[in-house]
Amino acid sequence: MLLVLRFAIALLFIVSGAEKLMSPRENFLYVLQAYDVFPGVIEEVSSFVFPWIELAIGVFLALGLWLRLAAIGLACMSGSLIAVVAQAIFRKLPIESCGCFGDLVHLPLKGVIILDVAVFASALVLLFNIKAAGRFSLDRLYDKASS
């Protein structure tokens, strides 16, 4: 079950990160600007960096390489997303689609906050069961080699 959870979240993050990286950066910049929470420079930098972090978390979760760090990254990222989306809902910002999966899926804000809470909870489950979640992982291979 933990393994399925790990691979499902990895897939989610790989698809989401890759989709943003494959489409022009200006699209994601527009998404960030719609949330109206960061100053302009941070929005610009985030539009470059965020999709790479998303993809990296997905890849490292799938490979099981630095799994604990990847799970911590996952928790931090989903926690931040919950805060950003919640403030948009609270302020009733006119955002029709979250923009979290580029052009692939359009989710309303209330739908995306449920997804983010689920991902955050999953990240905590993975973190507290890191050994069980680490089956079929490169970390496990390295641990065996070093013991």
For the chain, the residue count is: 147
CB of 136 or CB of 142, closer to other proteins: 142
Site for other proteins in 85-104 (CB under 8 A): 94, 96-97, 99, 102-103
CB 18 within 8 A of CB 145: no
Cα 115 to Cα 6, 11, 47, 107, distances in angstroms: 15, 14, 21, 10
Of 48, 46, 26, the closest CA to residue 38 belongs to: 46
Region of residue 94 (phi > 0: left; psi between -120 and 50: alpha; otherwise: beta): beta
Contact set for other proteins, span 37-66 (CB under 8 A): 52, 55-56, 59-60, 63, 65-66
Q: Does 142 bind other proteins (CB under 8 A)?
A: yes
**Closer CB to other proteins, residue 15 or residue 138?**
138
- Does 23 contact other proteins by CB under 8 A? yes
CB 95 within 8 A of CB 48: no
Q: Residues 107-136: x/- map of binding to other proteins (CB under 8 A)?
A: ------------------------------
Residue 1 DSSP one-character state = -
Q: How far is the CB of 108 from other proteins (least distance, A)?
A: 9
d(CA 40, CA 75): 25
Query: For residues 120 and 137, which CB has a smaller minimum distance to other proteins in the complex?
Result: 137
Site residues (vs other proteins, CB under 8 A): 18, 21-24, 26-27, 29-31, 33-34, 52, 55-56, 59-60, 63, 65-66, 94, 96-97, 99, 102-103, 106, 138, 142, 145-147
